């Protein structure tokens, strides 16, 4: 693993920990084939639904 990969892995670990500490009932949805929309959603402490959406490109 090179330095860029270690940096990226660290950022993903921070995101994972933030999601785990902030949301319950977390679900991940993957929509599409090549241009894929990914939605990560869960409930916060007040019962509100929160999440994020991103797009992946698979070649």
pLDDT of residue 5: 96
Q: Assess whether pLDDT exceeds 90 at residue 1.
A: no
Counting residues of the chain whose pLDDT is more than 90, the rounded percentage is 97
Tell me the pTM. 0.82
Mean pLDDT of 44-54: 97
Number of structural domains the chain divides into: 1
Structure tokens at 3: 């330095």
| Range(s) of the domain holding residue 30 | 3-57
Q: Assess whether pLDDT exceeds 90 at residue 13.
A: yes
Please, what's the b/e burial string for 26-54 (b: 16 or more CB within 10 A of its CB; e: otherwise)?
eeeeeeeeeeeeeebbbbeeeeeeebeee
The side-by-side arrangement of strands in the sheet containing 35-43 is 24-31, 35-43, 49-57
CATH number of the CATH domain containing 41: 3.40.1460.10
37 - beta bridge partners?
31, 55
Other Cβ atoms closer than 10 A to 19:
17
pLDDT of residue 54: 97
Q: Assess whether pLDDT exceeds 90 at residue 25.
A: yes
């Amino acid at each position: 693993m090179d330095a860029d990969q270690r940096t990226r892995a660290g950022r993903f670990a921070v995101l994972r920990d933030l999601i785990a500490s902030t949301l319950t009932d977390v679900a991940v949805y993957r929509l599409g084939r090549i241009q894929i929309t990914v939605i990560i959603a869960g409930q916060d402490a007040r019962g509100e639904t929160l999440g994020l959406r991103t797009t992946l490109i698979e070649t």
